[in-house]
């Protein structure tokens, strides 16, 4: 059993957005559930991760709640992000779905609640009202959106009484997100990057291989460092392999040169988006 002295303090380094302190690195849970997820998450928490990303649609919030309890890390030291699924956007279902998330997470609050995709059966104004009411009811500390384009993000900010602290979107070296990043900066919000490994494409890049070798780091560490070294970005990472947890959390003890940052940014190329469900996705920027 690890004690708190073994925890890496660095993984809780936070991006401050208004009153929200978003740990720069989060552990994603998409596609994982049951005892295996619990084991992986306990290991992730004991190795220093302090931010967990889940969602109602992942059907694993109960496993996340169980892992937090088993880990021995105080709930208050962990930042939990979850997302309301589109079917629960109507006003009569929104609040009940948040209550179910709380029961499953075995927690009396959620650190960050997002709406998962902008296209649902209700307007963005109604989605944002559902988030705001969850804050007013004391169930949620911070709110945000996911998979919103620039226009939608600006609408969300306009409609909201509470700050929209992030827009969780796909972001990796091959995908140009400069427009969203600029809009996030101007509107004093953040971008939370998912799919950083571009479903494995990063591991094939000769440019990333060279930068990793020269910096004596793995490609995963280089990509995560590139993400979190940008001013308004929080990164999510996911692995089902215990040995990679240790690898992926070690991104706070080195810096990339400005030249390497720029070289990685220039890997962007058209047609690199991975996650694009036709019935849910907006017109991307």
Ligand X SMILES: NC(=O)c1ccc[n+]([C@@H]2O[C@H](COP(=O)([O-])OP(=O)(O)OC[C@H]3O[C@@H](n4cnc5c(N)ncnc54)[C@H](OP(=O)(O)O)[C@@H]3O)[C@@H](O)[C@H]2O)c1
Rule CB under 6 A: say whether 248 interacts with ligand X: yes
Question: In whole angstroms, how close is the CB of 78 to ligand X at the nearest point?
Answer: 15
> Which of 27/94 has CB closer to ligand X?
27
> Which of 29/127 has CB closer to ligand X?
29
> Which of 4/276 has CB closer to ligand X?
276
Neighbours of 168 (CB within 10 A): 26
For 267, the 3-state DSSP assignment is coil
The 3-state secondary structure of 5-69, one letter per residue = HHCCHHHHCEEEECCEEEECEEEECCCCCHHHHHHHHHHHHHCCCCEEECCHHHCCHHHHHHHHH
> Which of 160/168 has CB closer to ligand X?
168
The end-to-end CA distance of the chain, in Å, is 47
Question: In whole angstroms, how close is the CB of 239 to ligand X at the nearest point?
Answer: 3
Cα-based distances in Å from 60 to 104, 127, 173: 8, 23, 29
Using CB under 6 A, pick the residue from 60, 218, 229, 230 that binds ligand X. 218
Given the residues 7, 30, 58, 194, the one annotated as active site: 58
Using CB under 6 A, pick the residue from 140, 195, 251, 264 that binds ligand X. 195
**Site residues for ligand X, window 82-121 (CB under 6 A)?**
116
Rule CB under 6 A: say whether 273 interacts with ligand X: no
Q: Where are the alpha helices (DSSP H) in the chain?
A: 34-46, 61-71, 91-105, 124-136, 150-159, 178-186, 206-215, 219-228, 242-249, 258-265
Q: Is 194 known to be catalytic?
A: no
Using CB under 6 A, pick the residue from 21, 119, 162, 244 that binds ligand X. 244
**Pairwise CA distance, residues 280 & 184, whole Å:** 22
> Residue of minimal CB distance from ligand X?
28
Rule CB under 6 A: say whether 146 interacts with ligand X: yes
Mark 52-81 with x for binding to ligand X (rule: CB under 6 A) and - for no binding. Answer: -x----------------------------
CB 89 within 8 A of CB 117: no
Cα-based distances in Å from 177 to 26, 258, 265: 19, 18, 10
Question: In whole angstroms, how close is the CB of 171 to ligand X at the nearest point?
Answer: 10
Name the helix (H) or strand (E) containing 109: none
Using CB under 6 A, pick the residue from 79, 94, 174, 194 that binds ligand X. 194
> Which of 135/245 has CB closer to ligand X?
245
Q: Which residues bind ligand X (CB under 6 A)?
A: 28-30, 53, 116, 146-147, 168, 194-197, 218, 220, 236-241, 244, 247-248, 275
The set of catalytic residues is 58
């Amino acid at each position: 059993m690890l004690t708190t002295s073994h925890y890496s303090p660095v993984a809780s380094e936070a991006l401050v957005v208004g009153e929200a302190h978003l740990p720069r690195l989060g552990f994603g849970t998409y596609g994982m559930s049951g005892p295996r997820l619990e084991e992986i998450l306990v290991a992730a928490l004991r190795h220093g991760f302090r931010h967990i990303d889940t969602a109602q649609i992942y059907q694993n919030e109960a496993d996340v709640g169980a892992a937090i309890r088993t880990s021995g890390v105080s709930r208050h030291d962990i930042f939990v992000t979850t997302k309301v699924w589109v079917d629960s956007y109507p006003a009569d279902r929104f609040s009940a779905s948040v209550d179910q998330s709380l029961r499953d997470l075995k927690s009396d609050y959620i650190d960050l609640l997002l709406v998962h995709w902008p296209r649902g059966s209700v307007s963005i104004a109604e989605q944002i009202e559902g988030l705001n009411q969850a804050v007013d009811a004391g169930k949620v500390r911070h709110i945000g959106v996911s998979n919103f384009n620039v226009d939608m993000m600006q609408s969300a900010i306009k409609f909201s009484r509470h700050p929209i602290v992030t827009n969780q979107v796909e972001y990796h070296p091959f995908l140009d997100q400069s427009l969203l990043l600029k809009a996030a900066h101007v509107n004093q919000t953040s971008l939370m990057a998912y799919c950083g490994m571009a479903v494995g494409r990063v591991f094939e890049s000769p440019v990333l291989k060279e930068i990793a070798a020269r910096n004596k780091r793995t490609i995963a560490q280089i990509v995560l460092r590139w993400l979190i070294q940008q001013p308004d970005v929080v990164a999510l990472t996911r692995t089902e392999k215990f040995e990679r947890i240790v690898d992926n959390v070690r991104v706070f003890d080195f810096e990339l040169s400005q030249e390497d940052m720029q070289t990685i940014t220039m890997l962007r190329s058209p047609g690199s988006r991975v996650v694009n469900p036709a019935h849910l996705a907006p017109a991307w920027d």
